[in-house]
Amino acid sequence: MNELGATPDRRVGKRLLAAFAGAVLTVGGCQPVPVHFDPLSVNGRDGGGVTPSYAALMRIGEAARAGGDYSNALSVFRRAAEVAPQNPEPFVASGDTLLALGEVNQAIVAYNSALARDGEDRPALQGLARAYLETGRPELALAPLGRAAALHPNDPKLLVLLGVVEDVEGRHQQAQSYYNQGLKQAPNDPALTVDLALSLALSGNCPAAIAMLQPLALAPSGTAQERQTLALIYGLGGSLAEAARLGRLDLDEAAVEHNLAYYQTLRAMTPEARDRAVRSAGLIAPRPNSS
């Protein structure tokens, strides 16, 4: 395995549009002439044209990732790492992309590679913490988060991750302290708002949770995730009719009925068992916009 977290055969499988695969042409009856097509080369041939700069590679990778083309983005970020091997940025970008692909262990390798180049790189520390949370090992996330928070104590992105760690461990009051601290720095931040509301609900304060999340979830810009988290909170509070109404905004009837049964099951559990159930269902997790 290389330091960007890919075994050689897997890495070949993810090359950008077969960038390094060869095609064969026969010219005038002579021996086959290998021609390698490389979309990152100006004229499309290996050994010709202008090699893209590091900045250009990073822009290409970011554009591919923004468009959901994670495999191609990963290949470009790896090439950028070859161009600037001492820069942590392409390693962080590779880690973020690997997380999006669900390759958590490889992402951890990539983030650690970034930290080997700059042990105080904030995006690398955040990414490593998110990766550890994805593996269900919140205790490991505390080390990189602690290092990052010591350098940037009021960073909302760090505070939401610290809150998630505390919620996963069942320490909801401490989690809420982090979320509230983050909201002082970034009022109305969606990730902080959603996670604070869910934390309040899990600690038994559903009315406060609803008051916190309702304006965000029911706004025209509200997302399905926000609405269904609000539905969950109504369900935990016993308001199943309102939970069903919200569910039907985004889900079919079968899914709504399934969720209502799940909410009732959660209500019947002890607080500790409910925390474990919510954790195993992935409801307490880093939000996509918290990275």
Judged against a pLDDT cut of 90, whether residue 4 lies above it is answered with no
Side-chain-facing half-sphere of 206: CA atoms under 13 Å: 14
Task: Kindly report, residue by residue over 125-180, the tens digit of the pLDDT.
Answer: 999 999 998 888 888 999 999 999 999 999 999 999 999 999 988 899 999 999 99
DSSP 147-187: HHHHH-TT-HHHHHHHHHHHHHTT-HHHHHHHHHHHHHHST
Distance CA(93)–CA(170), nearest Å, equals: 31
Q: What is the pLDDT of residue 74?
A: 97
Tokens of 176: 């809420």
Q: Indicate if 137 and 19 belong to the same structural domain.
A: yes
Query: Over the chain, what is the mean pLDDT?
Result: 83
User: Does 238 lie in the same domain as 108?
Assistant: no
My answer on whether 134 and 181 are in the same domain is: no
Q: What is the mean pLDDT of residues 41-61?
A: 72
CB 175, CB 163: distance < 8 Å = yes
Residue 47 pLDDT more than 70?
no
Rounded-to-integer distance, Cα 72 and Cα 95, Å:
14
Total number of domains constituting the chain: 2
Q: Which residue has the higher pLDDT, 252 or 39?
A: 252
Q: Say how far apart CA 161 and CA 156 lie, in whole Å.
A: 9
Radius of gyration of the chain (CA): 23
Element (H, E) at 26: strand 22-26
Measured in residues, the chain has a length of: 291
- Pair (145, 162) in one structural domain: no
| CA 274 from centroid of its chain's CA atoms | 24
Give per-residue pLDDT as tens, 197-241. Answer: 999 999 999 999 999 999 999 999 999 999 999 999 999 999 999
Percent of the chain surpassing pLDDT 70: 79
Q: Residues 40-46: what's their mean pLDDT?
A: 42
What's the mean pLDDT in 43-60?
75
User: Of 98, 121, 152, which residue sits at a domain end?
Assistant: 152
Q: Are residues 145 and 196 in the same domain?
A: no
**Residue that finishes a domain, picked among 128, 152, 176:** 152
The verdict on 43 and 98 lying in the same domain is: yes
Name the more confident of 270 and 48: 270
Grade residue 51 by pLDDT with cuts at 50, 70 and 90. Answer: confident
Distance CA 175, CA 168 (A): 9
Alpha-carbon gap, residue 23 to 166, rounded angstroms: 54
Q: Are 179 and 187 in contact (CB under 8 A)?
A: no
**When comparing pLDDT for 122 and 32, which is higher?**
122
| pLDDT score, position 54 | 96
**pLDDT band of 276, cuts 50, 70, 90:** confident
110 and 167 share a domain? Answer: no
Query: Alpha-carbon distance 125 to 9, whole Å?
Result: 28
Is residue 7 predicted with pLDDT exceeding 90? no
Q: State whether 131 and 201 are in the same domain.
A: no
Single out the residue of 91, 76, 101 nearest to residue 19, CA to CA: 76
* Statement to judge: residues 200 and 87 lie in one domain: no
Q: What is the CATH number of the domain that holds 93?
A: 1.25.40.10
Is the domain of 120 the same as that of 238?
no
Of 132, 152, 172, which residue is a domain's last? Answer: 152
Predicted confidence (pLDDT) per residue in 63-87, tens digit = 999 999 999 999 999 999 999 999 9
> Which range of residues forms the domain containing residue 288?
154-291
Rounded percentage of the chain residues whose pLDDT exceeds 90: 70
DSSP 45: B
Residues 141 and 1 reside in one and the same domain: yes
Cα(162)–Cα(178) distance, integer angstroms: 7
Model pTM score = 0.72
What pLDDT, on a 0 to 100 scale, did the predictor assign at position 28?
38
Q: Same domain, yes or no, for 276 and 220?
A: yes
**Cβ atoms of residues 80 and 88 within 8 Å:** no
